[in-house]
Chains A and B, each alone.
Chain A
Amino acid sequence: MPKNISSESRIELLQGTLDMLILRTLQWGPQHGHGVGQAIRQSSADLLLIERGSLYPALHRLEARDLIASEWKTSDLNRRAKYYRLTTAGKAQLVAEQSKWKLFVRAITRVMRPA
């Protein structure tokens, strides 16, 4: 993994936000686990680095809750990979999480705003 950003400037994920990020990433279409991790890293401009030790359990947890589904497909590298996609329930969950998140950010910003 390329390390062009020093580890100090990376951000620890807030608890519970990883599920939302995964759902959001899968909105663009089916993706395998590694791809989900890369996508989050890239779209956060390398600020968020997802530990795979948390990523995979999260994927399986979402799958167990029927928010995402999986199937084995051949990847671009011509290998079999497990692809995850959003289910209808997952889409609804993402909408709900997004509005909750907006509220959360607004609230935190108001509190933390310089006086």
Chain B
Amino acid sequence: MRWDFWRRERREADLEDEIAYDLAVDAEERIRSGATPHESEWASRRDFGNVPLVKEGIRETWGWTSLERLGQDIRFGWRSLRKSPLFATMAVLSLTLGIGANASIFSVINAVLFRPLPVERGSELVSLNETLAGNTVPLLSYPNYRDFRDRNSVFTGLAAYTIVPASVGPKGNAQRLWGYVVSGNYFELLGVKPHAGRLLLPEDDKVRGGHPVLVLTYAAWQKRFGGDPNIVGAKVQVNGREFTVLGVAPKEFIGTEIMIAPEVFFPIAMQKELEGGEGYLDRRTGWSVFVVGRLKPGVTRAHAESALNGIAQQLAQEYPREVGGMKIKLSPTGLGGSYMRDPTIAFAATMFGVCCLVLLVACTNLASMLLARAGDKRKETAIRIALGASRGVLIRQLLIENLMVALLGGAGGVLLATWIMSALTAWHPPVDIPLIISAPVDIRVLLFTLVVSTVTALLFGLLPAFQATKTDLVPALKNEAATPRLRYWHLRDYMVAAQVCLSVLLLFCSVLVVQSLQRSLDAPRGFQSHGLATASFDLNMQGYDEPRGREFERKVLDQVRQLPGVDSAALVNNIPLAAGVGSNHIYIEGKPVPKRAADVPIAYEFIATSDYFRTMRTRLISGREFDDRDKQGGRRVAIVDSAFAEQLLGGGSPLGRRFTTNTTKEPIEIVGVVEAGKYYQLNERRQMAFWTPLHISYTSIASIVARTRTNTPEALAPSIRGVVRDIDPSIALFAAGSVDDQLSLSFFPARIAAITLSAFGILALVLSATGIYGVMAYAVSRRTREIGIRMAIGATQAQVLESVARRAATLIGTGLVLGLGMALFAGRLLGRLLYGVKPTDPLSFAIVFGLMLAIGAAATFLPARRATRIDPTQALRQE
């Protein structure tokens, strides 16, 4: 670089000398033929032509000028930006926000959708999703998994895994952590090599209950066992049983779900020992295991899918009651099959679209600022053209200047995204699952940002650059007004209209989505979470059998009810909306059983004690709550919600009607009806649910819910802990605190979306406010003289105000109308994502209309008032 620089200097000096010599010799010849020295020098120069232009032509031949010219342009651009620091700061800042938002969303998309799993040829892996009775779930029953595995010829292998909590550690110091229960071929299929010892093999998955072995993740080995070098072969306690550590998985391997990090792997033959209950390895119904497969070379996904559906048809014939109508869909592995992937894609795409709109608003804003700047630099541009600069050169310089702004903005955007992403990674959602959100800014994100910045620079720079260099030299040099003819509308004005239009669109979409989220938050949930305390326990882990478990649950409930400050308390297997829920097929007595399993209705199933509905403040519509009659061995009864009653029992009193389920063949009598609610997701459509009494059904995993008198559920958690410790100190409580906190996960995506969208909406609003203000202020300053003349010949302040404001009003009005038109269209696209809000919601329209009008009026008022204060005598003397 230094050498190049030195060579450039010398070449420049040589060129200078060469031309000087030519001029001198030429002048001397003229003197010899009789001219005066003064004349001859001028004649010689005139004859030579435009020296800088000739020099430029010569430099072109040097070959390495394009790089050098770039350097010049960059220096020029830097100087020009430094001359207007306000513009530069505004431009870089608005791009930083616009590009930063884009880069952040892209980091998430990149991490979630584009990065393959960190295993050998991770992109070849696919997950199986089962569709049955209108539900698509990325889980299969274990017998179905086994049949698909053994009958197919399109996969090199199919492995099953599921996620379970377990208490793991040295005796007396076990901790509750999350693990995968995996089929014996899991690691082989993924091609994962051990960090130490060995991983699970098919031999470890032969005899039910016969393989008390496990594999640790690298992180768990470090964190839970301090990186113990003698870990291989060590004995640890798992749910009160002794297991042997076979080995440690490699550092980068964290299972096959992107967002859930397990700490330990068990063979699936130990499923019953780990999870308790009857186990599901022989149950053909229900959703038990994730299934992942690696396609054989040359097999397409469509081909594999049709092969699997062939097997599904065989199975449907063999087991019509359990799996009739089952269909299989394949999806990439890593996000719970298609279950989380599809909503994630939809969410990311929406956010991405919104980000692009914000960036577009920022671009329009910059474009109008640049147009105003071009007006200010008109004279300078004219001088440079007069001196021989070509239009191409000027455009190139302007574009490079814009590119510099865009790249600075891009760099700022990357910093912003990095900051947002590290905040996101550091944040742990208040749930009991080891969620990891890791979306680092990697090379792909950097490349993306670079491309976005460049495109941005072209977007906001090209038009102004062409406009700026289209200058009539003579009036520009003479300092005359830009428009000798009364050209009323200028490109800048269209920019204002475009900006208003985009902002309206953006604002309308965010108002719609925020309203929709608010409605889904406000929608009746069928219970009141505020003031509810909770804590959960898992008795399997302590090796409790059913009689001991029942005893424990009875004692806990009795004592919690005695606690001061507790109004009422109950036990339930799952708190609705907090984590998972179970569901079951319903067969109403006296109604024909559908031929295909796919046609059997499904309802959410809960198991609860007496007082549950009173504690949750769920309204009882008819019949009774669970009470002392519902004890072990008692009559099988259930309480259903009104959705269940309406959809399955339509007409007549539901009380006394009976039904069976997949798991209970004994008829269950309906003794009560409660209001319908939300059970799994806030934005779910009306779903059916039923409850059975815990004293009859039994669950080993349960949550205590307690209604506090003082609405301070957090304060109750220590007392509940105390109660449990007094009964059995080895029981670990989890998810203790207020129910509101537990629910926050299901509200989390909605909250995040609402916050981001509002932020974007406000950003767009601020950008367009500055845009309108900038352009109006500029227009007034350009028209100072005209306004002066008007006032000198008798225009009143009101007339001046009107002439300035009318222009703004026309622009803003046009933008508003166009924007609202586009918003109607966009609303229809959003329609499916909205809950409880129509895409034509008049309130949203009114809000956006009013807000934009107010902002527009404010941004116009200040410049317009300045116009009325123009002093005619001064205005005319100026220029």
Tell me the A residues contacting B by CB distance below 8 Å. Answer: 1-2, 32-34, 51-53, 56-57, 60-61, 63-64, 72, 75, 77, 79-82
Contact = CB atoms under 8 A, between A and B. Distances in A.
B29 A33 contact: no
Given A60-B58, A81-B21, A82-B17, A1 B29 contact: yes
Contact of A53 (B21, B33, B49): B49
B30 interface: yes
Given A1-B43, A61-B61, A64-B61, A56 B29 contact: no
A1 B21 CA distance: 15
Contact of A52 (B14, B48, B62): B48
A76 B47 CA distance: 23
Contact of A60 (B17, B33, B44, B61): B61
Given A33-B22, A82-B21, A53 B50 contact: yes
A52 B49 contact: yes
The 8 closest A-B pairs by CB, nearest first: A60-B61, A61-B61, A53-B49, A57-B57, A34-B22, A53-B54, A34-B25, A82-B18
A34 to B, nearest CB: 5
Contacts of B43: 1
Interface in B13-35: 14, 17-19, 21-22, 24-26, 28-30, 33
A36 to B, nearest CB: 10
Interface in B29-76: 29-30, 33, 43-44, 47-50, 53-54, 57-58, 60-63
A53 B28 contact: no
Nearest to B50: A53
A53 B53 contact: yes
Contacts of A72: 14
B36 to A, nearest CB: 15
Interface of B: 14, 17-19, 21-22, 24-26, 28-30, 33, 43-44, 47-50, 53-54, 57-58, 60-63
24 contacts: A1-B26, A1-B29, A1-B44, A1-B47, A2-B33, A34-B21, A34-B25, A51-B49, A52-B47, A52-B48, A52-B49, A53-B48, A56-B18, A56-B54, A56-B58, A57-B58, A60-B61, A63-B61, A64-B61, A64-B62, A75-B21, A77-B28, A80-B21, A81-B18
A56 B21 contact: no
B102 to A, nearest CB: 44
A16 B482 CA distance: 43
A57 B54 contact: yes
A94 B494 CA distance: 60
Contacts of B61: 57, 60-61, 63-64
A37 B847 CA distance: 77
Contacts of A2: 29-30, 33
Contacts of B24: 79
Given A56-B19, A60-B58, A79-B21, 13 more contacts: A1-B44, A1-B47, A2-B29, A2-B30, A33-B22, A52-B49, A53-B49, A53-B50, A53-B53, A56-B54, A61-B61, A64-B63, A80-B21
B156 to A, nearest CB: 61
Contacts of B50: 53
Contacts of A60: 58, 61-62
Count chain A CB atoms within 10 A of each CB in B18, B19, B47 and give the residue with the most.
B18
A79 B17 CA distance: 11
A107 B632 CA distance: 117
A33 B876 CA distance: 55
B162 to A, nearest CB: 72
Nearest to B57: A57
Nearest to A58: B61
A79 B21 CA distance: 8
Nearest to A35: B25
Count chain B CB atoms within 10 A of each CB in A33, A57, A80 and give the residue with the most.
A57
A38 to B, nearest CB: 8
A91 B366 CA distance: 57
A52 B30 contact: no
A56 B30 CA distance: 20
A5 to B, nearest CB: 14
